[in-house]
Amino acid sequence: MHDFRKLRVWDLSRDLAVAVERASRAFPRSDHGVVSSQLRRAMISIPANIAEGCGKSSRKETLRYFQIAAGSAAEVENHLLIASEFGYLNVGAREELLGQLKSIQRMLFKLMKNLPE
């Protein structure tokens, strides 16, 4: 078992979850919460799965949860791009959020690659 609170990738993904929540509040009412809800759920899944993976007793289980977090990161990327295409996010906000997300994705893949046996 590892302390997820010591992982920078968890901390950054938690920060990004807050930023995504704030950005999604500005989505239009015509969205009916569809894109914003999917985006927030996928985003909150990243730090949640990192934390859950750290609570597992085997490398294999930990790795599985980190992979789920990576999958959720790809889903967030998709939702941010779609939100931008719909005009819900301006280009500057989209690029800022995607930049933070890409950093998290790189950290996650590095963590998975270097996970001790």
25-30 average pLDDT score: 92
Contacts of 88 (CB under 8 A, 6+ apart): 26, 27, 28, 31, 35, 36
**What is the pLDDT averaged over residues 40-49?**
98
Question: What is the rounded CA–CA span in Å between residue 115 and residue 62?
Answer: 9
Check whether 96 has a pLDDT greater than 90.
yes
What is the model's pLDDT at position 1?
A: 63
In the chain, the percentage of residues whose pLDDT exceeds 90 is 91
Mean pLDDT of 30-39: 91
User: What's the predicted TM-score (pTM) here?
Assistant: 0.94
CA 17 from centre of chain: 7
